[in-house]
């Protein structure tokens, strides 16, 4: 079994309780093999139950979770990962991420990245990575851990925020980009340029957008509670855009950042 992450996953951000359970169970039945969650989402237990109830062998499903800001110190980090594994009903996750860089300095990056590496060494996770890291923070992380250790940087990427500076920096350091909020919370569906590309390509605007992200070499994790949307997202893997259609997306970048909490970094 290869532990390479499927480029299309089912996200669970904002999905609570039975919505999270049903979404993950439906996704797995449809053929998804990559599920993304996080401690802060409050749905790891439901995600774990859905994966278990799917009947799929554990090795067939790539599971990602993320450590939250209040668990980054040495006293809480590994215990929080053990708690996540317990909720997810598994002995390991495939990918463990630092959810956000800690900007207030209460825990140094060297400390929490060392804990992340220890989690990997102990077999609690197969791969390690980061989320919402800037170019400078990626450089700092690579200095701390050494090159080749970080599997991915999960960042906001969609047609209206293409995040090219960070994307190129990840690519230069052989770090996979995982794009979250790929459909810009539904905004892509009404964008005339994307609607036109979708009509040409014989697909929906959402499928065209997911194909664009895939053809750029990124992973992505759209979420939905709608079985038809989940299936349509999966079917986007059959959509292939022409060079001209890909280029049409390039002009849509307008720096529209949707995830910008007050504890976030100073973005590139």
pLDDT in tens, 127-183: 999 999 999 999 999 999 999 999 999 999 999 999 999 999 999 999 999 999 999
Name the active-site residue from 21, 41, 112, 151: 41
- Domain 10-184+217-222 class? alpha beta
Q: Answer whether residue 2 shows pLDDT above 50.
A: no
Is residue 127 marked as binding? Answer: no
**Measured distance CA(47)–CA(28) in Å, rounded:** 11
Structure tokens at 97: 């991420």
Exposed/middle/buried for 111, CB within 10 Å: 0-12, 13-18, 19+? middle
Chain position carrying tokens 């230069």: 172
**Measured distance CA(153)–CA(168) in Å, rounded:** 12
According to the model, what pLDDT value does residue 33 have? 98
DSSP three-state, residue 249: helix
Q: Which pLDDT tens digit goes with each residue over 19-71?
A: 999 999 999 999 999 999 999 999 999 999 999 999 999 999 999 999 999 99
According to the model, what pLDDT value does residue 11 have? 97
Dihedral angle sign, alpha carbons of residues 33, 39, 40, 45 = positive
Q: Mean pLDDT across the stretch 86-93? A: 98
Q: Which pLDDT tens digit goes with each residue over 57-73?
A: 999 999 999 999 999 99
Residues 6+ apart with CB under 8 A from 153: 129, 130, 131, 133, 138, 166, 170, 175, 176, 177, 178
According to the model, what pLDDT value does residue 1 have? 34
pLDDT band at 3 (very low <50, low <70, confident <90, very high): low
Question: What residue ranges do the domains of the chain occupy?
Answer: 10-184+217-222
Q: Is 112 a catalytic residue?
A: no
According to the model, what pLDDT value does residue 230 have? 97
């Amino acid at each position: 079994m290869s532990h390479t992450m499927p480029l299309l996953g089912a996200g669970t951000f904002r999905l609570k309780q039975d919505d999270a359970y049903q979404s993950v169970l439906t996704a797995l039945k449809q053929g998804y093999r990559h599920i993304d969650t996080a401690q802060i989402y409050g749905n790891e237990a439901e995600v774990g139950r859905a994966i278990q109830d799917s009947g799929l062998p554990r090795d067939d499903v790539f599971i990602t979770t993320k450590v939250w800001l209040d668990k980054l110190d040495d006293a809480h980090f590994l215990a929080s990962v053990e708690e996540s594994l317990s909720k997810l009903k598994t002995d390991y996750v495939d990918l463990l991420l630092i959810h956000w860089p800690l900007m207030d300095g209460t825990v140094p990056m060297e400390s929490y990245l060392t804990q992340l590496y220890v989690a990997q060494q102990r077999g609690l996770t197969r791969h390690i990575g980061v989320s919402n890291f800037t170019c400078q923070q990626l450089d700092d992380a690579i200095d701390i851990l050494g090159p080749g250790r970080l599997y991915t940087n999960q960042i906001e990427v969609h047609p209206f925020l293409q995040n090219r500076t960070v994307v190129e920096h990840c690519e230069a350091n052989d770090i996979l980009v995982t794009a979250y909020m790929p459909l810009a919370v539904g905004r892509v569906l009404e964008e005339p340029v994307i609607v036109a590309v979708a009509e040409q390509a014989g697909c929906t605007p959402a499928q065209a957008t997911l194909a664009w992200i895939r053809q750029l070499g990124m992973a992505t994790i759209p979420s939905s509670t709608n079985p038809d949307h989940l299936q349509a997202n999966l079917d986007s893997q059959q959509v292939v855009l022409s060079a001209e259609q890909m280029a049409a997306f390039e002009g849509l970048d307008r720096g529209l950042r949707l995830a910008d909490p007050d504890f976030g970094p100073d973005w590139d």
